[in-house]
């Protein structure tokens, strides 16, 4: 039977694959498991019913339900922010703003492929690789592995790199000869910038997010009609939101990504003009955002979100495109186009 893997060699192999940080911890329940259950009880997960499915709860409670005999978690982080898109472009109300994580290539595919390489190097009889896809409280495990602390905005924040990084993990039945110390407590102190800055007041309390009011949830996860009272608060966001990260004092330590794939191919990938989006059909949508995480949003929701942003822009230049959308086959698009036109008048 092979001996335990070398933690030092594992870290070197991970660094060689482009991972900025690596955490190694024995497999155990996530530190914030009970907070997760309270979050579900309060209904803060909104229509993300998969978060509350019994089989998913079991996997978050016991990692052996994912991989029988799991012994260690290897958690990696990859910086993604480009830091070179002018603020004037992002805040231009005639453009639809996309969260920084989706400016470049779809991170799921890139990171998962490299985790597979790292898992093959590690060896062992069994493993699982996840990149924001599995029923695992990855931020909580990453906190335990020392990759950062949990901020009042519920993000994982590295004290010397901020929070603009992706997480991925390997569950393995291999032993490792060393592992990381438990994560540090919050460094937020009395700061409440993220809580105050949230446009939709999505934080009912520090360290608690009500997804039903979160712009990221509303623009991505939520598939229905966005509550009319929240639409004027969404500004020009059309996919995700970076506000609670951008105002965080630790953001000043953000390191620019070293992954060329995460850089926007042009400024329009970070903040595409709304008039172009409103004219975009399904084929044009797929061609424009090929290889990007924006494709996961799907055409209907992107146009829905663009209608809201156009209504908040309030410029009559959007009237012709919005008027044409009143005849769109999608009831969802028609309803949001009508709302935007009402805002214009």
**Positions marked active-site:** 132
Q: What is the DSSP string of 90-158?
A: HT-TTB-EE-GGGSSB-HHHHHHHHHHHHHHHH--S-EEEESS-SSS-HHHHHHHTTS-EE-TTS-EEB
Residue 275 contacts residue 317 (beta carbons within 8 Å):
yes
To 5 degrees, how large is the angle CA 200–CA 202–CA 206? Answer: 135
In the block, residue with structure tokens 């937020």: 188
Nearest by Cα to 147 from 71, 76, 60? 76
Q: What is the DSSP string of 206-221?
A: TTB--GGG-HHIIIII
> Alpha-carbon distance 299 to 280, whole Å?
9
């Amino acid at each position: 039977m092979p001996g335990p893997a070398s933690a030092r060699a594992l870290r070197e192999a991970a660094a060689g694959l482009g991972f900025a940080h690596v955490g190694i911890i024995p497999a155990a329940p996530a530190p914030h498991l009970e907070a997760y259950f309270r979050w579900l009880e309060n209904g803060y997960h909104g229509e993300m019913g998969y978060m509350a499915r019994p089989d998913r709860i079991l996997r978050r409670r016991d990692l052996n339900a994912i991989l029988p005999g799991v012994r260690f978690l290897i958690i990696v982080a990859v910086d993604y922010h480009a830091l070179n898109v002018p603020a004037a472009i992002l805040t231009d109300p005639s453009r639809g703003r996309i969260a920084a994580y989706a400016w470049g290539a779809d991170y799921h595919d890139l990171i998962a492929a490299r985790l597979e390489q790292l898992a093959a190097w590690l060896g062992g009889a069994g493993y699982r690789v996840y990149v924001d896809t599995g029923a695992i409280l990855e931020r909580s495990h990453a906190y335990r592995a020392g990759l950062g602390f949990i901020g009042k905005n519920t993000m994982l924040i590295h004290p010397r790199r901020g929070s603009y990084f992706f997480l991925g993990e390997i569950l393995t039945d291999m032993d490792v000869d060393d592992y990381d110390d438990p994560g540090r407590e919050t460094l937020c102190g009395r700061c409440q910038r993220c809580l105050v800055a949230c446009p939709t007041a999505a934080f009912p309390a520090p360290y608690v997010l009500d997804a039903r009011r979160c712009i990221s949830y509303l623009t991505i996860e939520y598939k229905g009609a966005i509550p009319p009272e929240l639409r004027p608060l969404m500004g020009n966001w059309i996919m995700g939101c970076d506000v609670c990260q951008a105002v965080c004092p630790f953001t000043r330590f953000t390191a620019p990504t070293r992954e060329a794939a995460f850089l926007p191919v042009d400024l329009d990938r970070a903040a595409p003009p709304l008039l172009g989006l409103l004219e975009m059909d399904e084929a044009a949508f797929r061609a424009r955002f090929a290889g990007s995480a924006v494709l996961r949003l799907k055409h209907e929701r992107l146009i829905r979100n663009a209608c809201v942003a156009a209504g908040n822009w309030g410029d009559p230049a959007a009237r012709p495109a919005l008027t044409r959308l009143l005849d769109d086959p999608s009831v969802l698009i028609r309803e949001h186009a009508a709302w935007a036109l009402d805002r214009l008048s």
